[in-house]
Structure 1
């Protein structure tokens, strides 16, 4: 029997654990699907760790642009580890249970790293704006102390924004018959729907977090690139114009592979309730698993210094 507590005339229930579905309709081939996920997780961890080692061991990369790239790589490692244990445990061993408190902890870190990633992408757009609009003062503006402060501000912002989310869910009354989660990890929108109580506060707070972080960041990124384009259009030399835009390509691609799935997840959760459950699940995986895999590939392909430094790390390891 699952325990319940009584407060006055109100029966208060919290499940000791949730049961994760995984990928709805494809349970019979989870072992085969695990090959793809194992490959993606391995690629994400390997690629991002290589970037971190490359920047650390290459003095010529000790510049603001690559420090921010290291922040992005470290965030992607954290985001990968947020979903990896439960996803692979489910796909490999059919282990579907996750404790209630463990679910809240996973949810906090998962969403916190998502906010951190969005903030880092915003910081990288600011870095590109300063480098292109005022290159002579670039090193003076983005000093090591400034970069450290930006990094601390990003972590504090994410922690403060998501701090109340687990506690708001902890106070909710859950339904004994609604302990199935639609994913192989704890997603806020998924968990709060399992509550029997009024979740208006949770919905409004979740909306506030999204608007004040992801939406605000995306608008500021667009503003940054509007200013960058304005600056580039006033460059006399076509060669300088092409160089300036080329330095932004990797970041633009990174922004797109993060924000497009975010928009997809938000749209589906608000307007796609009639869609099959597998669509919700696949979009969530696209949002959480794919960016950590693609970011190292994008930067290694588009940035020659990073590519050479990563190859240098591999050769030294070999």
Structure 2
């Protein structure tokens, strides 16, 4: 690895690789550091990504890495343990003790899905325990679907999944008492409501077969829908002075994210974010778009800095000629100026 890069990208999913490719194509020196722990590792395929429909997540990452390398970007599989301000740039430390300099940071560390405390959910998540009808709905169409309520949005979730199957059951679980209007709407679309708390999911021959209530009753189901709490992986960012913002939907906190402007720029100069760390609802294609937007904005910011350095040299009259000014700018970049 080089001593100092124009940009270090922390996280090598769709957002990070998309930003890295845009920056590499702009002839920036880029290092992507990826811990290899993608949120969608358990999912079989990526959906709603135009031109890449049905691509396995690991394959999409491999394609993205090859594209970044094609334009000169570097990728290392490692974990970033710290990123601190160093002069006008940053010093990034890896778990193995190596460290590199960066003029700018693009952090795309994603989020963690915090699942309800129900037995057996974690091992099935992304397979037949799902959360997003747009990510997985088509694949489980017409199956027996159970929606486990853990927040006031459960009724809305049940109605969304009803679009995909005529056999939908809402397990009220920990949702407050339903209103008369909600019960009428559910009944009108044939959505059964089961009272009481859910204890676990039942599995036979590596297939989900039902939902077990605390009462002992087992309700046959093929698919279970849950509402995780989405928590941004923000350790590096909070250490740099950024704070988490609550994501509120229908008056209920469903997660936390790191706020940024539309380009991904945070309130800490030189730090950009993209993907699920700043947009909890972003699917893969949206994360890739956010990474591209951030990459373009970072390049513009670096161009402005390079231009200021060139103008300062020109006014000083120390160098004569465009090539010599370019050398000054390159030297400044290598030293993080």
When normalised by structure 2's length, the TM-score is: 0.29
Could you say which structure has the higher helix fraction?
1
Task: Give the number of the structure with larger relative contact order, counting CA–CA contacts within 8 Å between residues 6 or more apart.
Answer: 1
Higher-Rg structure is: 2
